[in-house]
C-alpha cells in the first residue's frame, strides 16, 4: 500500500484523530463561533428572535464597571495564588523527593485535595472559616480569628487564595516531582564532586533542567485561576457585598441571572482573550529559555 498518497493520509488521520476532531468541533469550536455570533445580538436567552445590535454588547461590556472590577480582582487573586501554589508545590515536591520516610504516602496525601470537587471543597472550607476557626478564636480569645474572615472584603479574598493553594498545590507537586525525577542523578553527583553543596547543586543544576515543569505548572495554574468559578461560588458566592465576585462569576451572573445574554457573552469573550494572551505569553517566554542537559 502506498503511504504517501493524500487519501491514505486522510484515512490515517480520520482513523486516529477523527473522533477527537469531531468532538472538539462539536463541543468547542461550534459553540465558540455561535457564542461569537450571539455577542452581536441582544438575545435574552429564551426569546425566539435574536435582534442584531452590532457592537452594542461590547460597548456595554466596556462600560460595565462591575466587570472590570471583577477582572482586576481576578488579576490580583491569580497573581498571588499562582505564586503561592507554585512555591508551595515546589517545596512539597522537593520534600517528597528528598528521600524522607514514607514519601510515597505524603505524595498521595498532598494530592488528595485535588480529587475533591471544587464545590464540595468550597463548602468544607466555608465550614472551617465560618465555624471551626471562629470557635477556636473565641475559645482562645484570639482577636483575628474570633470573627469569620469570610465576612470581610480582604478576608474573603484571602480565604479564596488559601483554598486555591490547598487545592492545586498537590497537583502541581506531582508535576514538579516528575521534573525532579527526570534529572539524572549523575549530574547531581558530578556537581557535588566539583564542590557544590547540595542546595547549590539543586539550585544550579536541577532547577534549570526542570524548566519544562515550571512552564507547565505556571500555565495550568494561571489558566485555572483566571477561570475560577466553582470554589468562588461555594465558598463566598461573591459575598460580602459582591466584593469577591471573580470575572467568570460576573459573566455567569450577567448572562443568566441578569438576563443580559449578549453582554455576558461579550464579557466572556474578553475574558478569553485576556486569558489567552497571558497564557500564551507565559508559555512563549518560558519555552524560549529552556535548556537541555
Q: Which residues bind another protein (CB under 8 A)?
A: 44-48, 66, 130, 134, 147-148, 150-152, 239-243, 253, 256-259, 261
CA distance 197 to 85: 27
Least Å distance between CB 40 and another protein?
17
CB of 192 to another protein, least distance (A): 54
Q: Which is nearer to another protein, 147 or 223 (CB)?
A: 147
Task: CB nearer to another protein: give 44 or 230.
Answer: 44
C-beta of 134 vs 174, nearer to another protein: 134
Residue 81 beta carbon to another protein: minimum distance, rounded to whole angstroms: 23
Q: CB of residue 196 vs another protein: minimum separation in angstroms?
A: 52
Residue 140 CB, nearest approach to another protein (Å)? 17
Closest separation in Å from C-beta 260 to another protein = 8
For residue 110, CA distances in Å to 13, 125, 220, 280 come to: 40, 17, 18, 29
Residue matched to cell numbers 520516610: 101
Q: Which is nearer to another protein, 21 or 257 (CB)?
A: 257
- Residue 292: Cβ-neighbour burial (10 angstroms; 0-12, 13-18, 19+): exposed
Q: Which is nearer to another protein, 3 or 48 (CB)?
A: 48
Contact 251, 264 (CB under 8 A): yes
Residue among 9 and 131 whose Cβ is closer to another protein = 131
Q: Per the structure block, which three cell numbers stand in for 106?
A: 505524603
Q: Which is nearer to another protein, 25 or 258 (CB)?
A: 258
Residue closer to another protein, measured from CB, 243 or 282: 243
In the complex, least distance from residue 136 CB atom to another protein, rounded to whole angstroms: 15
String of DSSP letters for the chain: --SSSHHHHHHHHHHHHHHHHHHHIIIIIHHHHHHHHHTTB---SS-S---B-TTHHHHHHHH-HHHHHHHHHHHHHHHHHHHHHHHHHHHHHHHHHTT-TTHHHHHHHHHGGGGS-HHHHHHHHHHIIIIIHHHHHHHTT-GGGSS-GGGSHHHHHHHHHHHHHHHHHHHHHHHHHHHHHHS-HHHHHHHHHTT--HHHHIIIIIHHHTHHHHHHHHHHHHHHHHT--HHIIIIITT-STTTT--HHHHHHIIIIIS--HHHHHHHHHHHHHHHHHHHHHHHHHHHHT----
Q: What's the closest the beta carbon of residue 37 comes to another protein, in angstroms?
A: 14
Amino acid at each position: 500500500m502506498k503511504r504517501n498518497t493524500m487519501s491514505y493520509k486522510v484515512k490515517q488521520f480520520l482513523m486516529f484523530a477523527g473522533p477527537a476532531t469531531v468532538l472538539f468541533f462539536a463541543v468547542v469550536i461550534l459553540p465558540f463561533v455561535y457564542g461569537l455570533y450571539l455577542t452581536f445580538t441582544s438575545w435574552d436567552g429564551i426569546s425566539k428572535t435574536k435582534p442584531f445590535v452590532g457592537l452594542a454588547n461590547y460597548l456595554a461590556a466596556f462600560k460595565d464597571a462591575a466587570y472590570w472590577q471583577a477582572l482586576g480582582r481576578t488579576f490580583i487573586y491569580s497573581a498571588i495564588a499562582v505564586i503561592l501554589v507554585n512555591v508551595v508545590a515546589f517545596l512539597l515536591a522537593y520534600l517528597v523527593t528528598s528521600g524522607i520516610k514514607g514519601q510515597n504516602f505524603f505524595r498521595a496525601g498532598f494530592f488528595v485535595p485535588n480529587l475533591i470537587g471544587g464545590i464540595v471543597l468550597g463548602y468544607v472550607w466555608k465550614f472551617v472559616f465560618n465555624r471551626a476557626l471562629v470557635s477556636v478564636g473565641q475559645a482562645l480569645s484570639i482577636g483575628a480569628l474570633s470573627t469569620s474572615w469570610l465576612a470581610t472584603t480582604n478576608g474573603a479574598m484571602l480565604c479564596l487564595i488559601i483554598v486555591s493553594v490547598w487545592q492545586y498545590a498537590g497537583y502541581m507537586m506531582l508535576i514538579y516531582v516528575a521534573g525532579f525525577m527526570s534529572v539524572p542523578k549523575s549530574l547531581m553527583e558530578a556537581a557535588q564532586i566539583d564542590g557544590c553543596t547540595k542546595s547549590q547543586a539543586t539550585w544550579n543544576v536541577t532547577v534549570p533542567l526542570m524548566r519544562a515543569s515550571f512552564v507547565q505548572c505556571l500555565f495550568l495554574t494561571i489558566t485555572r485561576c483566571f477561570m475560577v468559578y466553582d470554589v468562588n461560588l461555594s465558598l463566598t458566592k461573591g459575598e460580602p457585598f459582591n466584593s469577591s465576585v471573580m470575572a467568570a462569576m460576573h459573566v455567569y451572573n450577567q448572562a443568566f441571572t441578569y438576563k443580559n445574554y449578549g453582554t455576558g457573552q461579550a464579557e466572556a469573550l474578553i475574558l478569553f482573550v485576556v486569558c489567552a494572551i497571558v497564557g500564551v505569553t507565559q508559555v512563549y517566554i518560558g519555552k524560549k529559555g529552556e535548556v537541555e542537559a
